[in-house]
Amino acid sequence: SDIYNYTIIRLIRYGVPYYCCHCCVLEEDAASDATEGHDDEDQMYEGEYQGIPHPDEVKAAQRAARAKARQAQAGATELDELAEQYEDIMEDCGHGRFQWTLFIVLGLALMADGVECFVVGFVLPSAEKDMCLSNGEKGMLGLIVFLGMMVGAFIWGGMADKLGRRKCLIWALTINCVFTFLSSFAQGYGFFLFFRLISGIGIGGSVPIVYSYFSEFLQMDKRGEHLSWLCMFWMVGGIYASFTAWGIIPHYGWGFSMGTEFQFHSWRVFVLVCALPAITSLVGLMFMPESPRFLLENAKHDEAWMILKNVHDTNWRAKGQPEKVFQVTHIKAPKTQEDEFIEIQSATGTAIQRWAVRTLTLCEIKNKKYFNVLYCGPITLIPSYFSYYGLGVWFPDMIKYLQQEEYESKVKVFHRERVEHFHFNFSLENQIHREGEYINDKFINIQMKSVKFEDSLFEDCYFEDIESTETMFENCTIRSTVFYNTDLYEERFIDCRLENTTFLHNKKGCHLDIDEENDVLIYLVSFLGSLAVLPGNIISALFMEKIGRVKIIGLSMLISAGCTFFLFLSFSQAAIIAWQCLFCGVSVAAWNGIEVITVELYPASKRATAFGVLNALCKLAAILGTSIFASFVGVTKVVPILLSCTALVCGGLVALKLPETQEKILQ
């Protein structure tokens, strides 16, 4: 009867239906004690013989120390008390099956972000000829994804703090999947560009939401390590994109066509396959709950309590302890979010105004810790993004430039040759023909690659079924000649005199050059760069909690600057690839550190917004880096190296101003 009365009192006080089960548990424990004479909890802890304290004693001591520090701290708020209680709850829930399941689901969303960064680079060699793209259009297509991701990070970060992490991530991934699908079928350049932009806006929300979402299910001593492990999925996305591109795009026949107006080649199949990580993550999110920390901020305590109980029960059942009871009966109920937001949001009328005010409040500098991460954080991470993406473009382009120089050094020059009544049935490659005369010759069913005719005469010649790449006729005279079913258009004839020349059934559109399509360089360099991130991720994850975030950031950026400086000594393709791998492996630790600090420093009501603003600035740095570094390929390597080295050194020094959040409770 005592147990029954105790249960009724607790039910009346808290209104929590859980205590009916608790009553049964107590009764079972009483029966167990009566039959066996003791309970498992009464057994001696095995580690006591070695002088190892019981884990529960360690937790109790840590909580007592935090409570004492809070009492000594003047001006502790209800939100501080909620943050401390939430940390205690997450410690009781433990780290187990639930977190690992969420880790996989959110990791796939982060993997989709990594894939998105590589898609355009892989399909561009094919798409530029499928859509007849100019150099300016190719450059815009390469930058449009980063522009979309920048806008997406800015928008979705603010919305996630207002509407919820899970809901916004589902919408962001849905937009990405839908417009990725549409872009694979887009035949025109304009539609393809637009669909890739909207797809980038969708996936741009994954990074700020994923880190904010996952961090709110982690206890303090697990956050740095497991957020760093989560970063590994971005590298997996790069490897996935490289492998699938290598396996799909060269197979030009993997597709179909409907007349001449609709073509679906292998690179479009690759675009579809790249949506699989986002689709898989989207399906997994349907079975995941909202962040309880977000729900508590919005006064949804019953929903938060049920989610926390589910996390607790899932983890302890997986550990073989289903009898372990979730003992939380009451969660601190602060006022909904922060008072200044309530006043501001009630005073402003439209949703856009409220969102703008919410973003602008991040710029307040009353609190020094916000000042440090808001201004020093971007100054630290932006150089890393600027250098990583800038050198990411510069490395493969520089290697291609070296290959092109080597290729051109082997060019064959033919001077004043005279060919009459000859049938060219073999391909011409890497040749220059000057002041030649071709009389009554036939060029049938051949390929011309890097061929140039200068000051030459073609008379009574016949060209049929010609596929050409970088083939030009300059200052030539062409008389009584027929071009049948060729891709030799007017722009291929520079300052030429065409007399009685006929063009019949010219090939429509731009045609793929199979040799260039099968060039594995673009896939190999990307694959090695992504794979090199793996050791950096592992090291940063293992040492994030041991040596601290700030030291990892500073050390990583200074070593990256050293790797960049040694590029002055690199004159071969192998040396450039080796330094690229080392640079990628080292620089990722700085990313991990600043992302962990951003998550841990800002309170729940501003966390995703702050992360979104920071990520948007980093994407802007990526756009600047790719544009600036690409313009110096073949001109000089001094400027890119000095720019990257200087930016990384400055970023590493500024990192010392960042606050250390190693043992900070998540606000």
Point out which residues pair with 469 in neighbouring strands.
449
Q: Where in the chain is the domain with CATH 1.20.1250.20?
A: 77-348
Return the ∠ at Cα 166 (arms to 120 and 592), rounded to 5°: 60
**CB burial class (10 A; 0-12, 13-18, 19+) of residue 96?**
middle
Residue 358 pLDDT: 55
**The most confident of 472-476, 501-505, 623-627, by mean pLDDT:** 472-476
DSSP-assigned letter for residue 490: G
* Cα(412)–Cα(449) distance, integer angstroms: 12
611 pLDDT above the threshold of 70: yes
Rounded mean pLDDT of 226-243? 87
Distance CA 203, CA 176 (A): 6
Q: What is the pLDDT of residue 433?
A: 93
Residue 349's pLDDT band (boundaries 50, 70, 90)? low
Distances (CA, A) of 279 to 103, 113, 142, 156, 198: 16, 12, 23, 18, 16
Q: Which range is most confident: 247-251, 365-369, 434-438?
A: 434-438
Give residue 352's pLDDT band: very low, low, confident or very high (50, 70, 90): low
Bridge partners of 454, per DSSP, are 434, 474
For residue 483, the SS3 value is strand
Instruction: Give the lowest-confidence range in 8-12, 127-131, 165-169.
Output: 8-12
- To which residue do tokens 């990192």 refer? 655
Q: pLDDT of 85-108, one tens digit each?
A: 788 888 888 888 999 999 999 999
pLDDT in tens, 564-574: 777 777 667 77
> Is residue 371 within 8 Å of 381, Cβ to Cβ?
no
Residue 517 has pLDDT above 80, yes or no: no
Average pLDDT of span 365-383: 58
**pLDDT at position 441 over 90:** yes
Asked if residue 222 lies in contact with residue 98, where contact means CB atoms within 8 angstroms, the answer is: no
Q: What is the gyration radius of the CA atoms in the chain, in angstroms?
A: 32
How many helices (H) and strands (E) are present in the chain, helices listed first? 24, 16
> Taking the chain, what is the end-to-end CA distance rounded to the nearest angstrom?
42
Topology of domain 77-348, CATH: Growth Hormone; Chain: A; (1.20.1250)
Alpha helices in 361-512 (DSSP H): 368-371, 377-408
pLDDT band at 366; cut points 50, 70, 90: very low
The pLDDT of residue 419: 92
Total residue length of the chain: 667
Q: How far apart are CA 212 and CA 109, in angstroms?
A: 13
Query: Cα separation of 496 and 320, whole Å?
Result: 83
Q: Which of 170-179, 315-324, 354-363 has the lowest mean pLDDT?
A: 354-363
Query: In the predicted model, is pLDDT for residue 22 greater than 50?
Result: no
User: How far is it, in rounded angstroms, from Cα 574 to Cα 579?
Assistant: 9
Average pLDDT, the chain: 76
Could you give the CA distance from residue 64 to residue 358 in angstroms, rounded to a whole number? 35
Confidence of residue 43 (pLDDT cuts 50, 70, 90): very low
Average pLDDT over residues 517-531: 68
Q: What is the pLDDT of residues 103-152, one digit of tens each?
A: 999 999 999 988 888 888 788 777 777 777 777 777 788 788 888 888 99
Amino acid in the structure at residue 343: E
Instruction: Give mean pLDDT, residues 60-83.
Output: 59
Helix (H, G, I), strand (E, B) or coil at 76: coil
Instruction: In whole angstroms, give the CA distance from residue 476 to residue 454.
Output: 6
Span(s) in the chain for CATH 2.160.20.80 = 412-504
* Pair of tokens at residue 342: 């309530």
> C-alpha distances in angstroms, 480 versus 488, 512, 537?
16, 29, 66
Distance of CA 63 to the CA centre of its chain: 37
Cβ atoms of 307 and 331 within 8 Å: the answer is no
Task: Provide the pLDDT for residue 30.
Answer: 39
What does the block give as tokens for 614? 């920071």
Give the C-alpha distances (Å, rounded to integers) separating 618 from 381, 387, 608, 640, 660: 7, 11, 15, 18, 21
- Phi-psi category of residue 475: left, alpha or beta, with phi > 0 → left and psi -120 to 50 → alpha: left
Contact of 7 with 20, CB cutoff 8 Å: yes
Architecture of the 412-504 domain: 3 Solenoid (2.160)
pLDDT digits (tens, 9 = 90+) for 585-595: 888 888 788 88
| pLDDT tens string 280-291 | 999 999 999 999
Percent of the chain with pLDDT over 70: 75
CA dist., res. 347 & res. 229, Å (int): 42
Of 233-237, 439-443, 638-642, highest mean pLDDT: 439-443
Nearest-angstrom CA–CA distance, 312 and 327: 10
pLDDT of the residue at 548: 80
CB burial of 639-651 (b: ≥16 within 10 Å; e: otherwise) equals: ebbebbbebbbeb
Query: For residue 620, which of 2, 86, 257, 149 has the smallest C-alpha distance?
Result: 149
Confidence at 318, pLDDT banded by 50, 70, 90: confident
> What pLDDT is recorded for position 279?
94
Question: Of the ranges 29-38, 39-48, 353-362, 614-623, which one carries the lowest mean pLDDT score?
Answer: 29-38
Q: What is the DSSP letter of 374?
A: I
Please report the pLDDT score of residue 604 as a whole number: 80
Per-residue confidence (pLDDT) for residue 256, from 0 to 100? 57
Please tell me which residue, 16 or 123, carries the higher pLDDT value.
123
Provide the pLDDT for residue 59: 58
